[in-house]
Structure 1
Amino acid sequence: MIYFDFAATTPLDSEAAEVFVQASTEFFGNSSSLHDIGGQSQDLLENCREELANLVGVNKKGLFFTSGGSEGNFLAIEALLSAPKKQGKHIIAGMAEHSSIHGVLNRLGGYNVTYLPFNPSGLIDIDDLVRAITPDTVLVAIQHVNSEIGTIQPIEDIARVCEEQNIHFHSDFVQSFGKVDLKRFAPLVSSFSFSGHKIYGPKGVGGVYIDPAISWKAFFPGSSHEKGFRPGTVNVPAIAAMTAAAQRINNQIASNQERFLSFRADFIESLEPIKEFVHLHQANINSQLPSIIGLRIAGIEGQWMMLECNRFGFAISTGSACQIGMQSPAKVTQALGLSKQEAKEFIRISFGNSTKREDVIKLGETIVDIVKKFKN
């Protein structure tokens, strides 16, 4: 089976796995314990916090560890709403946000939420954002990189608007962490979330950055870990392994960009024989993560295409794995204004460390063969 679903999850990096085992056996103490064994674990935890903060260019005092991106999004939004810059009950979010963002916004009582669609290139229109802002707006939540089509949102422009209007800005960095140099963007937002298993780290670990100038209130009362940000013994081995994975992938950002651009061009070229049926959803090269390809093939349901590819030994997806369990269309298809039938045609291909050029071309040729047999 050849894997083309790296946007969903990644295999654990071998060096990160070694770090995990070492930390589990040698630094097993509870980082909150006051004895020396606990102190060794605490020292390792703080070293990881400092290293990750340096990788993305933020103050380590604002970095908190969580169980992953979904919990991070939840806690970040709750934290920002506990300390708004002004009074109000209006929130603006992207229509294509991860299901964890929609989940926390849906459970909020007393707030009005405006959801922004994508333009045809899969980007938030800044003019739409400005028009949506009211005197009551206290939070904007826009993800950095869309997990289903890989478009990169204009974080700098959104942050500027939010700063001018005195509004908190949360961004889901799960798909951009380790794939985009975040030093330009991370200091601009009020908060961001990230996850370990998207960058060859362990599952069940991630983090949140909240601007230290924000005096947030803990969502879980009485929590002592992570300065009260979340309850539960801190998973130091997983954090250490995630940090090791982050160090490795951060050094590969430029080379991966070049490699995946080439793979993307190869894949699109391989679909040339069926180009009249293929609809790519993408932005220009400066606003597009090359490793994620979202597309539709007219007249063929994505789930059927995914199963056919699986039968031929290729693992692709029909969108975010967190959404698939709900048996509903990928959020991005709603944001793009696609019809129900068009939404059902959506598939996603995503590249990673083990992806080879010949496999990319082979996948494209297999899809072409599947389509030709289906259409005849």
Structure 2
Amino acid sequence: MIYLDYAATTPMRQEAIEVYTEAATSYYGNSSSLHTLGTQAENLLTLCRKKLSLLVNCREDDLFFTSGGTEANYLAIHSLLKGKNDERKHIVTTKLEHSSVLHTLQQLEKEGFSLSYVPVDQNGVVSVDDLKKAIRPDTVLVAIQHINHELGTIQPVEDIGHFLSKKEILFHCDCVQSFGKLPIDVKKLKADSISVSSHKIYGPKGVGMVYMNSSSSWKPIYHKATHEKGFRPGTVNTAGIAAFTEAAECAYAEMKTARSHYERLKSYLLENLEPLAPFIEVEGLGNSHFPGIIGLTFSNIQGQYVMLQCNRHGIAISTGSACHVNQQEPLASLLAIGKSTANAKNFVRISFSQHSTFKHIDRLISVFHLLQQEFMTV
């Protein structure tokens, strides 16, 4: 099977597997236990926290481990809002955010908060000027992701963070798709929180991380939670965190070479898609685009059919975020960039890794040609 769905998840890299095995074998104590095995596990977590804090340029005490990106987003947003003592109840976001963010904010809307969506251009990019127009005296939080998980759009998050910090408005940035792929410096970003997931960078599933800015006066949402300094309950996944840390360090070491490889793959894919226009249209391209994620829409075929035909030919792609697969409505991100409801359902996502090759793209293009022949003769 040719795998071109790395934005959904990645296989664990060998280095992470080896670290996981060693940690699970030798550091199996509960990190909250006071005996030697517990202390050893806690010391390993402290080391991991230190290593990860260096990658994003933050204090060790500002990092908290979670079960993944979804929980990271949920806890970050709720913890930031709980720490606010004023009466502001307005939140600003975009319709391109991951469902874990949108669903959290939509629930808050039902609980008394008001929600505004900043428009994006045809490539999915947020204008800082449009964001400024959306800010109100009662705006308390802005939530905007770094790299969009379906279009690959890179948002101007540093510009956004600098503006919001001057206004004393909270800023949560979903960095699940960008961590390990683009440099992230939380001091430059001026975010109050960021979310990260392990399995997007060849680490284990079920592990994530949140940066919470200690100067933001956030408060944990759980009553008397004892793990992660009260940030969340539940025994900490020491082995998974150790493997995640190893995967993160490897991703940072390989970041430049990986980005160059994605650029070459993207150029090759776009070159081979040109003869298929207008049957296939590439979405989200522009100056602010991450080359590892390519979104495509087909003129008269639903994305689910394209995905199934690719699967039949031994190629794995997706119709968008894995968290959206079982929903029938069109992707909100496609509607946000101006697509019709019908056309938004004709979307598929291609996402690369360092294991992806030109031959993989050749196989994919051959299936697209077969689809074109099938539907042009109907």
TM-score by length of 2: 0.96
Q: What amino acid maps onto 2:332 in structure 1?
A: K
Deviations 1:110-163 (Å, cap 9, x if unpaired)? Answer: 100111232112101212211111000000000000000111000111112211
Specify the SS of the correspondent of 2:123. coil
Q: Give the aligned partner of residue 262 of structure 1.
A: 264
Q: Give the aligned partner of residue 305 of structure 2.
A: 304
Distance 1:184 1:138 in 2: 19
Q: Which of residues 204, 207, 210 in structure 2 aligns to 1:208?
A: 210
Q: What amino acid maps onto 1:91 in structure 2?
A: I
**Bigger mean CA offset, 313-322 vs 84-93:** 84-93
Work out whether residues 157 and 189 of structure 2, in 8 Å CA contact, stay in contact via their aligned partners in 1: no
Query: Structure 2: which 5+ runs fail to align?
Result: none
Distance 2:57 2:285 in 1: 27
Deviations 1:59-111 (Å, cap 9, x if unpaired)? Answer: 11110000000000000001110123853000001111101011111222110
Aligned pairs for 1:194-273 within 5 A: 194-273=196-275
Ranges of 4+ aligned residues in structure 1 off by more than 6 Å: none
Q: What amino acid maps onto 1:343 in structure 2?
A: A
Distance 1:186 1:8 in 2: 28
C-alpha deviation, 1:272, in angstroms = 2.1
Distance 1:184 1:214 in 2: 13
Q: What amino acid maps onto 1:325 in structure 2?
A: N
Question: For the structure 1 residues 179 and 87, does the alpha-carbon distance in structure 2 shift closer, same or farther, using more than 3 Å as the test?
Answer: same
Specify the SS of the correspondent of 1:182. coil
Distance 1:60 1:43 in 2: 13
C-alpha deviation, 1:187, in angstroms = 4.7
Work out whether residues 86 and 166 of structure 1, in 8 Å CA contact, stay in contact via their aligned partners in 2: no
C-alpha deviation, 1:185, in angstroms = 6.6
Distance 1:238 1:124 in 2: 35
Distance 2:106 2:199 in 1: 26
Q: Give the aligned partner of residue 60 of structure 1.
A: 60
Work out whether residues 123 and 283 of structure 1, in 8 Å CA contact, stay in contact via their aligned partners in 2: no
**Bigger mean CA offset, 198-207 vs 348-357:** 348-357
Q: Give the aligned partner of residue 91 of structure 1.
A: 91
Q: Which of residues 118, 127, 130 in structure 2 aligns to 1:128?
A: 130
Distance 2:47 2:329 in 1: 41
Work out whether residues 79 and 217 of structure 1, in 8 Å CA contact, stay in contact via their aligned partners in 2: yes
Q: Give the aligned partner of residue 319 of structure 2.
A: 318
Q: What amino acid maps onto 2:336 in structure 1?
A: A
Specify the SS of the correspondent of 1:254. helix
Q: What amino acid maps onto 2:370 in structure 1?
A: D
Q: CA RMSD in A?
A: 1.3
Distance 1:38 1:212 in 2: 27
Query: Structure 1: which 5+ runs fail to align?
Result: none
Work out whether residues 186 and 192 of structure 1, in 8 Å CA contact, stay in contact via their aligned partners in 2: no
1:340 aligns to 2:341 (yes or no): yes
Deviations 1:4-29 (Å, cap 9, x if unpaired)? Answer: 00000000111101111111110001
Aligned pairs for 1:29-108 within 5 A: 29-84=29-84, 86-108=86-108
Distance 2:14 2:187 in 1: 29
Work out whether residues 97 and 144 of structure 2, in 8 Å CA contact, stay in contact via their aligned partners in 1: yes
Work out whether residues 266 and 361 of structure 1, in 8 Å CA contact, stay in contact via their aligned partners in 2: no
1:354 aligns to 2:352 (yes or no): no
Work out whether residues 52 and 243 of structure 1, in 8 Å CA contact, stay in contact via their aligned partners in 2: yes
1:366 aligns to 2:367 (yes or no): yes
Q: Aligned residue pairs: how many?
A: 375
Specify the SS of the correspondent of 2:28. coil
**Bigger mean CA offset, 122-131 vs 255-264:** 122-131
Distance 1:367 1:117 in 2: 32
Q: What amino acid maps onto 1:306 in structure 2?
A: M
Distance 2:211 2:88 in 1: 23
Q: What amino acid maps onto 1:141 in structure 2?
A: A
Q: Give the aligned partner of residue 375 of structure 1.
A: 376
Question: For the structure 1 residues 39 and 184, does the alpha-carbon distance in structure 2 shift closer, same or farther, using more than 3 Å as the test?
Answer: closer
Distance 2:86 2:130 in 1: 22
TM-score by length of 1: 0.97
Distance 2:76 2:200 in 1: 19
Deviations 1:289-311 (Å, cap 9, x if unpaired)? Answer: 10100011111111111111111
Q: Give the aligned partner of residue 28 of structure 2.
A: 28
Distance 1:229 1:212 in 2: 12
Specify the SS of the correspondent of 1:243. helix
Q: What amino acid maps onto 1:195 in structure 2?
A: S
Work out whether residues 85 and 166 of structure 1, in 8 Å CA contact, stay in contact via their aligned partners in 2: no
1:118 aligns to 2:120 (yes or no): yes
